[in-house]
Structure 1
Amino acid sequence: METTVQPQAAAMPVASDLTIGDLFRALGAGWRDYRTRPTCGLFFSGIFVAAGLFLFFVLDGRSDMAWLIPAAAGFPILAPFAAAGLYEVSRRIQSGEPIRWASILTAVRGRGDDQLPLMGVIAFVVFSFWVIIAHGIFGIFLGESGLGADWLETLGSGPGVAMLVVGSLIGGAMAFAFFSMTVISFPMLIDREVDFISATIVSVRFVRSNLAVMLFWAAMVAVSVFAAMIPLFLGLLVVLPVLGHATWHLYRRAVDPAI
């Protein structure tokens, strides 16, 4: 893997003319990459799905919906790190480099400078923080009553609806903030020798420069991921790889490869 040194990465120019058409072109390119190397996509998404199923059955076995619902809602926060190997696959397809498992698995560790693992740790911390906050919101609105056997009826009650509204607003704000920090930074850390702070700054600048389009992209990603999670996470075996590959192409649209 060639190394591109960027001493002033945080100040590099980013595209400010992103369009909805660019998003669908990125999705098309992501679908092509997935079909080119489906085993890679299934491998990385399979790990993510297995982790999701483990979390689901552990919490479901405890019959604690107050933890299960926030965990399920926040689990997609970990998806960008799970897709790190997919960015490397797309990079190699685009550059014509051979796709070898050893190289792809090594890329998941980053460039040996601990920047990508640090971002992974941050993703896990954000996920844990969200679960704790969501559990607190649950306690504020439903208190000691819990959801019980008729949890759908409870969620449809006044306090339940209020909890869902407040939780969705807070969760949505947290999710979009984290999305802004990672949508470009994760593939950049695979592609370039930069520190995670600089990569995060570039990612936030790109989202801010294309706010309306990136809000649309974030909403599309959120809807796709949540829909894919409904059948026991199995839809993620296709959705996660396609979105991961598409994110790589969106990164290429955001930052000039020649810089």
Structure 2
Amino acid sequence: MPHPTPPPTSLSLALPAVREIAFGQPLHWLALAWRDIARCGWLSFAHGAVLALFGAALVLIARDRFWLLAGAFSGFLVIAPVLATSLYAMSRALERNEPVGVALLVRTWTSWQHARRSEAGGYWCLVRFGILLALAGTGWVLTSAALITLLAPQPIQGPMDFIRYVVLAPHSYLFELWLAMGGVMAAPMFASSVVAMPLLLDRRANMMQAVLTSWQAVLVNPAPMALWAALIMGFTLLGLGSLLIGLVFVIPMLGHASWHAYRDLVDASSLPERLAPGETA
């Protein structure tokens, strides 16, 4: 007797297909991102402005605790894929020739309220994944702060103290240890999130499917994904190093580019499309 076909909402770990891409493809994603920004205008830059203001608030709160500030900014990179959710939605709308406006952003950030149950593929998958990344970011902030506080030869109160007593300290490997620990924590989170949030936004996938698909994309394309990670880190450092002003441009660029990364890397046609509240199949 044949087994019945499970309903679309049943929990399944069937993964969508992952494509192999060329090494330089991440540069094409950045070009597509600027095309999207040109069409979205101020809505894209508003995302960058909000996050730049958030960064400025961090500086004000932790200006006398640079050990905490360093961890907070690096932890911010971990949860950035969640904060860019509405940028993914904007690129998807442009792709579908749908209107892009404030109403789209409101729907993107409130849709989870229409699916409060933890059913497979529901909007709560986005919320749970966001919480996971936030916990990872918080864990790194605490680890970074504890490491620098315990091992730095002098109290770290400002950027020059960090450079003098951590980066340039003679006969000390604290900076190398700090970077190594950050890499150990950041690498798996990057691999888990590189296409996970766009996939969760676009298709009725559960969190495990999204994370495993993201890992598969990295394993199939290690060199292009390494380039993509380096570009993300490099542009983010430029944004931070420009007194946060550069984040106004960097955040929307990387957010829109991440949507195009997902579209290039993942063939999600095997998964049902996620419909917005009020839409019918």
For normalisation by structure 1, the TM-score amounts to 0.89
Distance 2:240 2:12 in 1: 39
Query: Which one of the candidate residues 134, 141, 145 is aligned to 1:135?
Result: 145
* 2:229 is the counterpart of 1:225: no
**Alignment partners' CA distance in 1, 2:242 and 2:59:** 12
- One-letter amino acid of the counterpart of residue 157, structure 1: A
**Comparing both chains, which one has the higher relative contact order based on Cα–Cα distances under 8 Å and sequence gaps of 6 or more?**
1
Does the alignment pair 1:178 with 2:178? no
Alpha-carbon shift at residue 74 of structure 1 (Å): 2.5
| Residues 141/120 of structure 1: CA separation in 2 closer, same or farther (3 Å cut) | same
Secondary structure of the residue aligned to 1:23 is: helix
The alpha-carbon deviation at position 168 of structure 1 amounts to 0.6
- Whether contact under 8 Å (1:229, 1:236) holds in the other structure is yes
* SS across alignment from 2:18: coil
* 1:258 has 2:269 as partner: yes
Q: Which amino acid is the alignment partner of residue 266 of structure 2?
A: V
The code of the aligned residue for 1:14 comes to: V
Task: Return the alpha-carbon distance in structure 1 between the equivalents of residues 135 and 61 of structure 2.
Answer: 20
Q: 1:123 is matched with which residue?
A: 133
Per the alignment, residue 170 of structure 2 pairs with: 158
Instruction: Read off the aligned partner of 1:130 and give its amino acid letter.
Output: W
Aligned to 1:94: 95
Q: Matched residues in 2 for 1:87 and 1:206: separation?
A: 18
Which of 99-108 and 115-124 deviates more? Answer: 99-108
Gaps of 5+ in 1: none
Kindly indicate whether the alpha-carbon contact (under 8 Å) linking 2:16 and 2:268 is maintained by their aligned counterparts in 1.
no
| TM-score normalized by the length of structure 2 | 0.83
Q: What is the match of residue 114 of structure 1?
A: 124
Residue 65 of structure 2: aligned partner:
64
Query: Would the alpha carbon gap of residues 14 and 6 (structure 1) be closer, same or farther in structure 2, given more than 3 Å must change?
Result: farther
| CA-atom RMSD in angstroms | 2.0
Shift of 1:148: 5.0
Following superposition, the deviation at residue 126 of structure 1 comes to 0.9
Q: Structure 1 residues 173, 202: closer, same or farther in 2, change over 3 A? A: same
C-alpha distance in 1 between matches for 2:157 and 2:53: 27
Task: Identify the residue that residue 206 of structure 2 maps to in structure 1.
Answer: 195
What are the superposed Cα offsets for residues 37-60 of structure 1, whole Å, 9 maximum, x if unpaired?
021211222221121111111000
SS state at 1:232 partner: coil
Identify, as 1 or 2, the structure richer in helix: 1
Letter in 2 for 1:77: V
- Partner residue in 1 for 2:28: 25
> Does structure 1 residue 205 correspond to structure 2 residue 216?
yes
SS of corresponding position for 1:25: helix
2:192·2:215 contact (CA, 8 Å) conserved in 1? yes
Equivalent residue for 1:214, pick from 213, 225, 240: 225
Counterpart AA for 1:158: P
Q: CA deviation at 1:5?
A: 6.8
Which of the residues 42, 45, 48 maps onto 1:42?
45
SS in 1 for 2:17: coil
Deviation at 1:186, TM superposition (A): 0.6
What are the superposed Cα offsets for residues 134-169 of structure 1, whole Å, 9 maximum, x if unpaired? 1222134216x313576132231136x511111111
Aligned residues: percent identity? Answer: 24
SS in 1 for 2:255: helix
Provide closer, same or farther for how the CA distance between residues 9 and 251 of structure 1 changes in structure 2, counting only shifts above 3 A: farther
CA contact (8 A) 2:16 2:269 kept: no
Describe the SS at the equivalent of 1:223.
helix
Where does residue 120 of structure 2 map in the other structure?
none
- Using the TM superposition, give the Cα deviation of residue 185 of structure 1 relative to its aligned residue in structure 2, in angstroms: 0.5
CA contact 1:48–1:79 (8 Å) conserved in 2: no
Aligned to 2:18: 14
Q: Is 1:146 paired with 2:158?
A: no
For residue 68 of structure 2, give the secondary structure of its aligned residue in structure 1: helix
Q: 1:136 to 1:21 in 2, by over 3 A?
A: same
Alpha-carbon deviation of 1:32?
Answer: 0.3
Q: Distance in 1 between matches of 2:237 and 2:9?
A: 37
Deviation at 1:9, TM superposition (A): 5.7
